[in-house]
């Protein structure tokens, strides 16, 4: 029987969101009523609280664990195995849904929440990931800047802050003080599209060495 491959950033059924009351902090934005050290990142942004029980229960494919996604994006780790992402002279390797018809030069300048990948895991992902089977693009990225977060934007109300919508927010946007983040965003720059066939050839060449 083949071994089940579960990406590092995937949430498990034992890792449920920790119920937390969001309150307004006058002049600051929002916070947790019982806020603790570690609830905010180095830029002061509030993050979603989630249990950390990696590998316990059943994998919830399609649901990303916020802290592991943040770690993988911050350290540029492979989203599948958590090892170093593949790097060559053209840059780090990203495997993305193919949206090159969205604009000329895609994905240059795109805000991305998917961490990069290593070569072996790229081959596995192309084979097994349902989203990528609908159309995938391999991209080498020479520069990726931590630019902001994706999360729930809160608004004032008579009963206190209420979640209004999911948004992508830059770190220099004042609205970020009203966001509970669930994913870190990097802006991809100086990108080169790599034919998937070439990526597979690189994988086999690396395997033979």
Joined tokens for residue 179: 């966001």
pLDDT digits (tens, 9 = 90+) for 44-71: 999 999 999 998 999 999 899 999 999 9
The residues with which 180 forms a beta bridge, in sequence order, are 46, 152
Among all chains, which residue has been given the structure tokens 């902001």?
Answer: 148
Would you call 107 exposed, middle or buried from its count of C-beta atoms within 10 A (0-12, 13-18, 19+)? buried
**Cα–Cα–Cα angle for 193, 201, 62, nearest 5°?**
60
Question: What pLDDT, on the 0 to 100 scale, is given for residue 4?
Answer: 80
Question: What pLDDT, on the 0 to 100 scale, is given for residue 62?
Answer: 87
Distance CA 110, CA 121 (A): 23
Question: What pLDDT, on the 0 to 100 scale, is given for residue 76?
Answer: 98
- Name, in order, each residue with C-beta under 8 angstroms of 196's C-beta and a sequence gap of 6 or more: 126, 136, 138
Question: What pLDDT, on the 0 to 100 scale, is given for residue 129?
Answer: 74
Nearest Cα residue to 72 out of 92, 55, 56, 53: 92
Joined tokens for residue 28: 């600051």
Compute CA distances 147 → 31, 111, 117, whole Å.
Answer: 21, 8, 19
Question: What pLDDT, on the 0 to 100 scale, is given for residue 1?
Answer: 41
Q: Spell out the per-residue pLDDT of the chain, length 209, in tens.
A: 457 889 999 999 999 989 999 999 999 999 999 999 999 999 999 999 999 999 899 999 989 999 999 999 999 999 999 999 999 999 999 999 999 888 899 999 999 999 999 999 998 888 777 777 778 899 999 999 999 999 999 999 999 999 999 999 999 999 999 999 999 999 999 999 999 887 777 665 665 55
Delimit the domains of the chain by residue range.
20-208
Distance CA 121, CA 72 (A): 14
Nearest Cα residue to 160 out of 12, 18, 21, 7: 21
């Amino acid at each position: 029987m083949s071994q089940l491959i579960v990406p590092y950033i995937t949430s498990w059924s034992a890792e449920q969101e920790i119920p937390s009351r969001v309150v307004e902090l006058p002049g600051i934005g929002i916070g947790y009523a019982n806020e603790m050290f570690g609830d905010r990142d180095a830029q002061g942004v509030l993050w979603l609280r989630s249990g950390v029980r990696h590998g316990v229960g059943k994998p919830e494919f399609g649901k990303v664990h916020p802290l592991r996604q943040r770690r993988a994006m911050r350290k540029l780790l492979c989203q599948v195995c958590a090892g170093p992402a593949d790097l060559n002279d053209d840059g780090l390797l990203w495997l993305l849904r193919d949206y090159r018809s969205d604009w000329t030069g895609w994905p240059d300048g795109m805000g991305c929440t998917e961490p990069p990948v290593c070569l072996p895991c790229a081959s596995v992902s192309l084979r097994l990931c349902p989203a990528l089977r609908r159309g995938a693009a391999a991209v080498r990225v020479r520069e990726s800047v931590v630019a902001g977060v994706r999360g729930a934007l809160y608004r004032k109300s008579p009963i206190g802050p209420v979640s209004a919508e999911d948004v992508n927010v830059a770190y220099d946007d004042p609205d970020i003080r009203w966001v509970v983040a669930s994913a870190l965003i990097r802006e991809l720059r100086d990108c080169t599209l790599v034919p998937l066939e070439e990526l597979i050839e690189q994988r086999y060449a690396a395997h033979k060495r």
